[in-house]
C-alpha cells in the first residue's frame, strides 16, 4: 500500500538543508562522522543533552578509539568513563554490541538497518541515525525532536508517544528523505533542538515557517499531543557511610535491575532512625564509636525518586585487620558483602553512581 505523506513533508527538504548547512553546530561526531563516532555519540545522547555529552565523548574516544578497544575494555574502566552520565546499561550494551560486531561483522559497524537493530542498546531511532549519518542510507531517524517538528508541521493531533504515530512518521519520512539522508536527519533533529523547541517554538527563525501548518493555524503551543507520563514512584532509602581507619565500606549491586553491577554505599529501603541503625550495627557485629546523621538528599531516576537519609558510622578499632574482606562476624542479612576502599579509590577505581554522591566522604 502506498504511504500517504501528509503536507507539507514533501516540500521541506530543500529549505531545511539550506538552513542546516548555514547553521549546523560543529560537533566532534558531526565533523568526523565515522561509524564508531556516530554510534558512541548516539548512545550517549540518548537521555542526555549535547553539552553534557561533549566531554564524555572526547574522553571515551581517547581511551577507547575503536570497536576492538571497546570490545576488550575492562568493565570497571568502562564504568569509570561513563560515571556521571547515568543510565549505565547504555555503557554495558555498548560493550556487548562491540563484541558482537567483532564476532559477526569482522569489527565493522553494519550499515544495514536490520543488522544494526540486532545490536544491544540500538533501537529504531539509533539504527536509523547510524545508517543514515555514517553511511547515508535513506533511513529516517525519528526521535522526540523529530516527532515534535513533524506533528507541528503537519498540525497532527496524534499522540506522539504512541508507537503507531512513530511508525507513521517514519513511513512518511522514508518517502521524502533525500539522497543526503544523514544531513536531512540531522537537520530535522537540529531544528527540533534549536528552533522548534518544546515549550516556545521560535517560528520567526524557522526555515519552514512558510510551510508549517501549526504556525499557520496558531497551534504551536498546543502541539504535539502527548499522553501524560505516569507519576514517579517515591522510595525512602537510608544510606550508610561506614568508615574505619580512613577506609569506607562499599558493596556491589546485583547484576540486574536499577544501576546493575555498579558499586554503592550500603543502603536500605525505608528511613531508619538512630535506634534502628544501632540495632543494625549490633546484628552485623559492628562496634560504632560514633553514629552521626547526615543531611537528607534526593535522586531522581526516570521512574523512581529516591528520598535519601544518611548515617555516618565510624567504627572502633576492634575490627582492624583484613580491611579488604568483610570481618567474619558480618552475616549476610543485616549488610551485603562489603569491600573496603580508601578515599582516593572511591573516586579513582570504583564507579559510584551520582545517586550516592551526597554521602560520599569529602577530603
Q: How far is the CB of 138 from ligand SF4 (least distance, A)?
A: 22
Nearer to ligand SF4, 209 or 349 (CB): 209
User: If binding is defined by CB under 6 A, does position 160 make contact with ligand SF4?
Assistant: no
Q: Using N-to-C axis directions, what is the helix angle for 181-194 and 144-153, rounded to 10°?
A: 80
User: If binding is defined by CB under 6 A, does position 94 make contact with ligand SF4?
Assistant: no
CA pair distance 339, 329, nearest whole angstrom:
15
Reported as type and span, the H/E element at residue 267 is strand 267-269
| Residue of 53, 208, 313, 323 that binds ligand SF4 (CB under 6 A) | 208
Strands 263-264 and 247-252: antiparallel
Contact 166, 160 (CB under 8 A): yes
Pattern 107-146, binding to ligand SF4, x per CB under 6 A?
----------------------------------------
Q: Cis before residue 146, ω within 30 degrees of 0?
A: no
* Nearest to 212, CA basis, from 4, 24, 18, 16: 16
Nearer to ligand SF4, 45 or 206 (CB): 206
The 3-state DSSP class for residue 215 equals helix
Largest CA distance in the chain: 78
Q: How far is the CB of 12 from ligand SF4 (least distance, A)?
A: 9
Residues within window 187-206 making contact with ligand SF4, judged by CB under 6 A: 195-196, 201-203, 206
Nearer to ligand SF4, 83 or 220 (CB): 220
The 3-state DSSP class for residue 165 equals helix
| Residue of 80, 152, 247, 272 that binds ligand SF4 (CB under 6 A) | 152
Q: Which DSSP string do the residues of 229-260 spell out, in sequence order?
A: PPPPEEEEEEEEEEEETTEEEEEEPPSSSTTT
Reported as type and span, the H/E element at residue 307 is strand 304-315
In terms of C-beta density within 10 A (0-12 exposed, 13-18 middle, 19 or more buried), how is residue 78 classed? buried
Nearer to ligand SF4, 186 or 244 (CB): 186
User: If binding is defined by CB under 6 A, does position 215 make contact with ligand SF4?
Assistant: yes
Q: How far is the CB of 50 from ligand SF4 (least distance, A)?
A: 19
Residues in contact with ligand SF4, total (CB under 6 A)? 15
Q: How far is the CB of 165 from ligand SF4 (least distance, A)?
A: 17
Span of 15-23, 147-155, 296-304, 316-324 interacting with ligand SF4 by CB under 6 A:
147-155
Nearer to ligand SF4, 158 or 243 (CB): 158
Q: What residues are labeled active site?
A: 42
Nearer to ligand SF4, 13 or 238 (CB): 13
User: If binding is defined by CB under 6 A, does position 151 make contact with ligand SF4?
Assistant: no
User: If binding is defined by CB under 6 A, does position 169 make contact with ligand SF4?
Assistant: no
DSSP H helices, the chain, are 13-23, 28-31, 35-45, 50-63, 67-71, 75-82, 89-104, 113-117, 124-135, 144-153, 163-176, 181-194, 213-217, 274-283, 343-348
Nearer to ligand SF4, 45 or 195 (CB): 195
Pattern 225-244, binding to ligand SF4, x per CB under 6 A?
--------------------
- Give the residues lining the site for ligand SF4 (CB under 6 A): 149, 152-153, 195-196, 201-203, 206, 208-209, 212, 214-215, 220
Amino acid at each position: 500500500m502506498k504511504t500517504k505523506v501528509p503536507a507539507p513533508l514533501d516540500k521541506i527538504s530543500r529549505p531545511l538543508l539550506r538552513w542546516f548547512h548555514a547553521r549546523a553546530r560543529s560537533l566532534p561526531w558531526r565533523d568526523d562522522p565515522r561509524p564508531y563516532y556516530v554510534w558512541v555519540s548516539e548512545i550517549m545522547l540518548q537521555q542526555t543533552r549535547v553539552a553534557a555529552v561533549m566531554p564524555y565523548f572526547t574522553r571515551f574516544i581517547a581511551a577507547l578509539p575503536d570497536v576492538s578497544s571497546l570490545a576488550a575494555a575492562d568493565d570497571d574502566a568502562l564504568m569509570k568513563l561513563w560515571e556521571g552520565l547515568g543510565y549505565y546499561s547504555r555503557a554495558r550494551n555498548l560493550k556487548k554490541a562491540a563484541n558482537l560486531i567483532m564476532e559477526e561483522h569482522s569489527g565493522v559497524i553494519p550499515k544495514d538497518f536490520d543488522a544494526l537493530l540486532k545490536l544491544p542498546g540500538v533501537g529504531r531511532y539509533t539504527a536509523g541515525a547510524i545508517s543514515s549519518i555514517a553511511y547515508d542510507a535513506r533511513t529516517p531517524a525519528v526521535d522526540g525532536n523529530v516527532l515534535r517538528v513533524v506533528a507541528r508541521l503537519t498540525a497532527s493531533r496524534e499522540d506522539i508517544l504512541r508507537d503507531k504515530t512513530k511508525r507513521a512518521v517514519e513511513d512518511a519520512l522514508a518517502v521524502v528523505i533525500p539522497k543526503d539522508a544523514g544531513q536531512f536527519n540531522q537537520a530535522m533533529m537540529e531544528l527540533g533542538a534549536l528552533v522548534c523547541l518544546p515549550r516556545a517554538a521560535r517560528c520567526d527563525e524557522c526555515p519552514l515557517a512558510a510551510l508549517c501548518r501549526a504556525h499557520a493555524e496558531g497551534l504551536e503551543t498546543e502541539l504535539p499531543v502527548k499522553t501524560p507520563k505516569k507519576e514517579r514512584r517515591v522510595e525512602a532509602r537510608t544510606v550508610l557511610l561506614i568508615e574505619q581507619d580512613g577506609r569506607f565500606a562499599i558493596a556491589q549491586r546485583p547484576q540486574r535491575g536499577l544501576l546493575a553491577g555498579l558499586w554503592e554505599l550500603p543502603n536500605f529501603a525505608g528511613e531508619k532512625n538512630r535506634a534502628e541503625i544501632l540495632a543494625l550495627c549490633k546484628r552485623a557485629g559492628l562496634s560504632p564509636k560514633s553514629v552521626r546523621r547526615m543531611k537528607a538528599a534526593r535522586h531522581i531516576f526516570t521512574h523512581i525518586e529516591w528520598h535519601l537519609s544518611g548515617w555516618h558510622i565510624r567504627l572502633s578499632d576492634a575490627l582492624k585487620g583484613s580491611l579488604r574482606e568483610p570481618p567474619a562476624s558480618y552475616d549476610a542479612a543485616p549488610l551485603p558483602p562489603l569491600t573496603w576502599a580508601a578515599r582516593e579509590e572511591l573516586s579513582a577505581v570504583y564507579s559510584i553512581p551520582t545517586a550516592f554522591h551526597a554521602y560520599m566522604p569529602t577530603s
